[in-house]
Amino acid sequence: MIIVSVVGQAAGKSNDKAAEEILVELAKELETIRNSYFEKLQILESDLTSINKDLQQNSGCDALTLLIRKDAVYENIRQLRWETDNEISKVKYLKGLQIIKILYEKVLSLDHHFASVRTFHEISKISNPNQYPEYEKLKEIIAGKRDRKSAFDLTAILGSNTIVSVVQTFTNMLGANMSREEKEKELAKVECILDFTLRMQSDLNTIYFETAFLNASNDKMKQEIEVLFRDYTKPINYTAALEDCRKNDDWETITQKMGEYLSKMKASSGSAQYKMQVNIEFPIDRLLQFISQYNAFIDQGGKFYEKFGIILDSYENERQCESKLPPEYRKLKADIDLAVQKFNVAYKPVEINGSKMKEILYGLNEFD
């Protein structure tokens, strides 16, 4: 009965849920299973108490009958424990599958986020004065009025270097055939551009390289969860990759495979049965390890973007130069503010404290 309800949740509805909701559902279902177990166990233990009392008062054939009944009760208790453990394993496994599905969507969303970030293009455009038409215009004016004997041209490599290019521009300007007023007038047109690019270039490059680092880390997270899914579904003989499962919406097949695995496990006995149980318990531990990795990455990413926001807000002449600053700068600031919100809301860490972890690992909570 429980497997039917979990199948319905795993087959598409989990996208509308947070991982925390799945954990709450898990706790409730485990509590229902435990309560049912203790109710049935209480009845069986009451039978044992009654049989033991009767054994104290009887001997011979009656005692033999009572001993047979006692063995039957013990067998019922053993079977009840096994069925309960089996039910707990099943619920934890399928809820874990739902969490994997949710986390994969988050990782893919992050992948899309990083793919759409135009950081390199924007930073290369706003951190180099050579990318600004006003500065190019100034260089043209100076080139037309420079002293041909003392002026010089930079190579393509040095010309693309911000510092070298600015130094050359000022050097040529000093020797240019221009009045002081002309020089000051032309310089005023680019002062904000030069101030912004020279002050912020290093910080803007930091944003680029650290964003590239986050992107690479997310690629690793994607690989990790794909390996986790492979190991998670291997015991039940599901062989499709996570990407293919998602693309084909094949989650129902996994729950079907799980049902077949449980039936086979029920028909087994001894060490073979125990091994099958361990095989579906172990992936739960792997899932918790991945959740810890994911949480650490999201926490790190949020802090990085908060730092990026502080960096962009640190330009001290922003107010004086506001009209001269490139639109890409304001767009980058808006994108980073949005990214901070996403890391705090859309990609937020999965809240899993010690008691919830015990429930997932052992089917127990701190109030038992």
CA pair distance 352, 359, nearest whole angstrom: 10
Per-residue pLDDT at 172 exceeds 50? yes
With beta carbons less than 8 A apart as the criterion, state whether 262 and 270 touch.
Answer: no
Backbone phi, psi, residue 349, to 5°: -60, 155
166 vs 36 pLDDT, higher one:
36
Interior angle at CA 139, CA 119 and CA 321, nearest 5: 55
> Half-sphere exposure of 176 toward its Cβ, with a 13 Å CA cutoff?
24
| pLDDT value of residue 165 | 74
Contacts of 231 (CB under 8 A, 6+ apart): 283, 286
Residues 338-354 have a mean pLDDT of: 79
CA pair distance 14, 21, nearest whole angstrom: 9
Contacts of 324 (CB under 8 A, 6+ apart): 192, 193, 196
| pLDDT band of 120, cuts 50, 70, 90 | low
End-to-end CA distance of the chain: 25
Which residue from 288, 286, 261 is spatially nearest to 275, judged by alpha carbons? 261
Which residue from 223, 236, 298 is spatially nearest to 97, judged by alpha carbons? 236
With beta carbons less than 8 A apart as the criterion, state whether 192 and 320 touch.
Answer: yes
Per-residue pLDDT at 333 exceeds 50? yes
Residues 135-158 have a mean pLDDT of: 70
113 vs 239 pLDDT, higher one:
239
Lowest mean per-residue pLDDT among 123-127, 203-207, 224-228: 123-127
| pLDDT band of 8, cuts 50, 70, 90 | very low
Percent pLDDT > 90 in the chain is: 25
In angstroms, how far is CA 108 from the centroid of its own chain? 9
300 vs 273 pLDDT, higher one:
300
Mean pLDDT of the chain: 82
Dump pLDDT digits (tens) for 90-99. Answer: 888 888 888 8
CA pair distance 258, 94, nearest whole angstrom: 8
Q: Which residue do the tokens 């650290």 mark? A: 210
Count the neighbouring beta carbons within 10 Å of the beta carbon of residue 243.
13
| pLDDT value of residue 266 | 81
Residues 38-44 have a mean pLDDT of: 91
Q: How far is CA 71 from CA 49, 67, 256, in A?
A: 13, 6, 36
Per-residue pLDDT at 238 exceeds 80? yes
How many Å is the Cα radius of gyration of the chain? 34
Which residue from 110, 108, 100 is spatially nearest to 10, judged by alpha carbons? 100
Interior angle at CA 33, CA 85 and CA 50, nearest 5: 85
| pLDDT band of 269, cuts 50, 70, 90 | confident
254 vs 125 pLDDT, higher one:
254
| pLDDT value of residue 42 | 92
